Amino acid sequence: MIEILRGFEQQYAELEARLANPDIMKDMTSYRTLMQERSHIEPLIEALNTLKSLASQIADAEQMLNDEDDPELLAMTKEELTGLRAQYASIEEKSKVLLIPPDPMEGKNIIMEIRAGTGGEEAALFAANLYRMYAHFAESKRWKIEIMSMNETGIGGFKEIIFS
């Protein structure tokens, strides 16, 4: 995993150098793009540094196991080594998740249309239930819903509803 993350080290250094250039502030579009790239790579670099540190600590603890004769100190070192290995595995798993590229559609708005179609009042009630389901989901994600157009029936259903 460390080898994979090391590939991002050079890319991060190049981004830092480009961002340090005062001329980049003249082109805000490029600056924003570079900052987005940097914000995606930065957690990977932090994970790499943590993994390097943990690998060094694990190597030191293993060396201590080989060199030490005191049974009490050996027991403490084994316990520490177990904890360090667990931390290393945890950071490694988090790093794998960080390596997944971000969804390009994330953060984009949508317009959704729900039409009752064939089925009369039953279909209109189903369309209303469907809208409420999407509205509750959006509310749970703290998204804003704005109704753009709505055609209600007399019993609380929707022939058509358009929202974003």
Say what the pLDDT of residue 89 is: 92
Q: How confident is the model at residue 86 (pLDDT cuts 50, 70, 90)?
A: very high
Supply the pLDDT for residue 59.
Answer: 92
Average pLDDT of 33-38?
Answer: 88
2-17 confidence digits (pLDDT tens): 778 888 888 898 999 8
Give 94-138 pLDDT, tens digit per residue: 988 888 877 776 667 888 898 888 878 889 999 999 999 999 999
C-alpha distances (whole Å) from 82 to each of 79, 87, 94 are: 5, 9, 19
| pTM > 0.75: yes or no | no
Provide the residue ranges of all domains of the chain, joining segments of one domain with +: 2-98, 112-163
pLDDT value, residue 107: 66
Q: Where are the alpha helices (DSSP H) in 21-164?
A: 28-67, 71-98, 120-140
Q: Which residues contact 15 (CB under 8 A, 6 or more apart)?
A: 34, 37, 38, 41
Give the whole-number percent of the chain exceeding pLDDT 90.
29
Domain 2-98 - what CATH class? mainly alpha
Write down the pLDDT at residue 52.
Answer: 92
Q: Say what the pLDDT of residue 117 is.
A: 80
